[in-house]
Amino acid sequence: QYPPGYYISWAGQFQYLQAAKERLKIVIPLTLLIIFVLLYMNTKSLVKTAIVLLAVPFSLIGAFWLLYILSYNMSVAVWVGLIALAGLDAETGVVMLLYLDHAWEKFKAEGRMTSMCDLHDAVIEGAVGRVRPKIMTVCAIFFGLLPIMWSPVMQAGADVMKRIATPMIGGVVTSAILELLIYPVIYVIWRRRELPDRTEEEPAPIVPPALVPSHRVRHHLPRIIASTLIAIGLIYGASFAWHKFASRNMTSTPFATQTVNDLTVKLSSSKGQLKNGDNDVLIEFRDSRGQLIEVGNVKFEINMNMPGMQMHEGATVQRTGTAGQYRAEIKVGMAGDWTAKLSYEGPRGSGQATFNLNTEP
């Protein structure tokens, strides 16, 4: 119970996030409705509109998987990326449907649409014609957004832009694969009703002959798959080795030390101290015997009080692979006197240390 006139309410960034979520409950359905209406105006068919909208769940698979791999939580920026992805999927879906329709109309005009085999040939021709434009679209989007997703966290607005670009990159990859595989199948199921009745008596091949890979392709396919898996493994291995051993190759000079809850916190840098610009800081936690101790999650930030305002810089803190050692990347905006705040929370409880630091140009 609180005294009369007292209450608890959310404030700050969480309050803004809740307000944004309420707006998104209106914006997202409205966006999907607008996409549906525009598609219907373009295709004049509910069936075609539904087929095009199937690209949206296809793309969500890759979007959510990439968000999971990068440990990004749902946020307003992520929802913005998903909304942009939905519009992009609708565009690529319309183009795929257009190619299939052109092939269908071409075969009908030539009098070759009389059996399921003819339908398969038409769909294959339309889908194959879509491969090159689809790959060009995916590559343009992928390589255009990849620098944003890999941008350094210290850059202004990087946290927001990375979360907008990530679902778009993951979604456009899976959408491209699934559209080329699933769209033709759905199109065949839909168009087969318009074939002459006698085609029901004709046995249709389960897999069209044109889709059966040649002996040469089947011979090299295991090597291609193995090479792809090895390349992915090397990329992940190199990333792991970088995060694990980067701190060992860093010759650091301590520039600040403080004791917190029987732990000695030491800040070191290859520059000898913080300087204006980008800085790599090695953070170590040691017990009374000088042994490195794992403390869990660590946050590091610096602030500078100025007339009428306060400058704030946050650091990206990562584990180095050695218990008790953390690597922080921080960008100092200007030289002067800064107050550094370091906090931790984990198996040894929580604690906080404050350092008065002077940065040089």
Same domain, 200 and 219: no
pLDDT confidence tier of residue 218, bands split at 50, 70 and 90:
low
Quick one: average pLDDT of 166-178? 85
Residue 18 lies in a domain: yes
Two tokens at 251? 């010759």
Same domain, 205 and 237: no
In this prediction, residue 273 carries a pLDDT of 81
In the chain, how many domains are there? Answer: 3
Least confident of 110-114, 235-239, 335-339: 235-239
Same domain, 193 and 219: no
Same domain, 33 and 160: yes
**What is the tens place of the pLDDT at every residue in 291-322?**
888 888 888 888 887 766 777 888 888 887 78
Quick one: average pLDDT of 212-227? 60
- Residue 77's CB: how many other CB atoms inside 10 A? 20
Question: What is the rounded distance in angstroms from the CA atom of residue 174 to the CA atom of residue 178?
Answer: 6
Same domain, 132 and 30: yes
In this prediction, residue 199 carries a pLDDT of 45
- Is pLDDT of 211 > 80? no
Same domain, 286 and 147: no
**Alpha helix positions (H), 246-295:** none
In this prediction, residue 224 carries a pLDDT of 66
Same domain, 98 and 62: yes
In this prediction, residue 115 carries a pLDDT of 81
Same domain, 181 and 226: no
- Largest separation between any pair of C-alpha atoms in the chain: 88
In this prediction, residue 308 carries a pLDDT of 65
**Shortest CA distance to 177 belongs to which of 89, 279, 274?**
89
Domain final position from 245, 265, 300: 245
**What is the tens place of the pLDDT at every residue in 46-63?**
888 888 887 778 788 888
Same domain, 85 and 128: yes
pLDDT confidence tier of residue 215, bands split at 50, 70 and 90:
low
In this prediction, residue 1 carries a pLDDT of 61
pLDDT confidence tier of residue 287, bands split at 50, 70 and 90:
confident
Mean pLDDT for the chain? 78
- What domain range is 238 assigned to? 213-245
The CATH code of the domain that includes 291 is 2.60.40.1930
Quick one: average pLDDT of 183-204? 70
User: Where are any strands of DSSP class E within the chain?
Assistant: 253-260, 263-269, 277-286, 297-306, 309-314, 316-319, 325-332, 336-346, 349-359
